[in-house]
Structure 1
Amino acid sequence: MVKDSLIAELGQLVSEARNPRTMQIDLMGAADIVAAMNREDRDVAVAVEQVLPAVAAAVERIVEAFRSGGRLIYFGAGTSGRLGVLDASECPPTFGVPDTMVVGIIAGGDRALRHPIEGAEDSPQQGRDDLAARSLSAKDVVVGIAVSGRTPYVIGGLEYARQVGATTVALSCNPDSTIAKIADIAISPLVGPEVLTGSTRLKSGTAQKLVLNMLSTASMIRIGKSYENLMVDVSVSNEKLAARATRIIVEAVGCPNAQAEELLAQSGNDVKLAILMGLTGMPQAEAEAALRREDGFLRRALIAHPGAAG
């Protein structure tokens, strides 16, 4: 039997409130339903804008973690956990980083990505155990993701992370939530009631995805994973990515496709290295040394080379 206290607690959450603008949605045709959803979605970016200082603060801590050999660990249940795993899984091909650098953990394990795992989110101890199993350390940043801000699994994980000394970040869509009070940094975009009451995979999930995009992308940019707005550490692991890598080199160097493909081959499929070689005329070994001196920042390596084109 569901506890009365839990029912009352959910009734106090913004994310569980009824939306007065969609009370007649069950009578609408398809065009009106999607128009109503679209109108509601417009509020999401505005809500995220209000919490940008907290997002930026989290990015700075993540950058510090990366520079000291730490990890970014996303941690959640249900939709929140799936979004964290999704963002983590996109980092290796996009930024050429190992899959241990950004980690996504979902309550119930990988099976929970496709199937609901009964009660997986209800155990604070399981949250602690899942982080302990990843050898959590004070170097890491743990982002606990829970729309309600009260998921026991996430609470337990964040409490354990604090004990270990890791930086803790709470991402929720309710004000003054439990996880917000636990964490070092609280990110709480308030998107208001959902189109369908309590269906937090909608506006709340969109807000979470926007924030996670910022956390990973901004952090990677800050550690030198871009040149201008080009993804210069993209992994060349299939035909599409090889074509993208060639196009990036063409854009950066201003050379024909054939020359870009030759530079890519000479660099061992290292886009950043290929661009440095193309813009400076450096041989591979010299270009590699120049990048090492500048901690992998391509623009700094170019500035340090007086003969760099462009």
Structure 2
Amino acid sequence: MPSQRLSVVVTRRLPEAVETRMKELFDVELNEDDHPMTKGELVAAMSRADVLVPCIADRIDGAMLAQAGERLKLIANYGAGVDHIDVSTARQRGVLVTNTPGVMTDDTADMVMALILSVLRRVPEGMAIMQSGNWTGWSPTAFMGGRVAGKRLGILGMGRIGQAVARRAQVFGMQVHYHNRRRLHADVEGALEATYWESLDQMIARMDVISINCPHTPSTFHLMNARRLKLLKPEAVIVNTSRGEVIDENALTRMLRAGEIAGAGLDVFEKGREVNPRLRELPNVVLLPHMGSATREGRIEMGEKVLINIKTFADGHRAPDMVVPSML
């Protein structure tokens, strides 16, 4: 790369400390009003920058990369998931892609437990009646939920976040089960007191709670489809903090409305910001605005990883968080 400072375009506002350090190191163009960039704006940004810093809301496909020209050399994604980026096409065009893995593990796992507790103990329903001013006092049969201890938790995807969820679930007295592409090492499995299921169908049919913690890939799209959702026990609940596309949202909504599934806690949605309006009507569903990793500490650490990836690249070395198609 030339000796002058790299030109970097950041698609959304980042924590102030991250933006300040980025300005110190590079020639940076910030998104001052934090508006979601259109396709055209993203293409224009890629055409005038050496480095693009997008986030999950910025879908970058092959056609957009083809219009980007030759200047772009690095997409330093602000986030761990890269399913919104056509990594294969980027690499074919000589554009490297990095991400920010590991820093949001604990934050996301905390949110999984928060959703499990919220759904099982009917927390939003209790909050709603208190905020409405219609609470008439304590009653022995009001807002009865389910006890967390003793519940069987089925974790779909036992990577960093799945294992962090398992450790938390142990403390709450839950029985941990999991399905994964590869079985964990016996020592790890033993420490987590986790039961492995090679068959996803067999596992989910026996669980009280399902936690989705796998990435969105072509093989996981609608992994929880209508057929699999029908295997769940009527008293089971499902929690998703990973990617909305892993669940057939329409099928899930139909079953929740019909009482065929007891409840759901969703931090992600199949169509991004377009949340199925029928989901919002259901009292047994907790909906959050993709805030699983939204801690000050986590977001700053994500930014620090972006900075390290760009700086390492600028210095002519391999960025530590390089993403290659074989990883996906």
Q: Same fold by TM (over 0.5)?
A: no
Structure number having the greater helix percentage: 1
TM tier, shorter chain? 0.3 to 0.5
Structure number having the greater strand percentage: 2
Q: How does the TM-score come out when normalised to structure 1?
A: 0.32
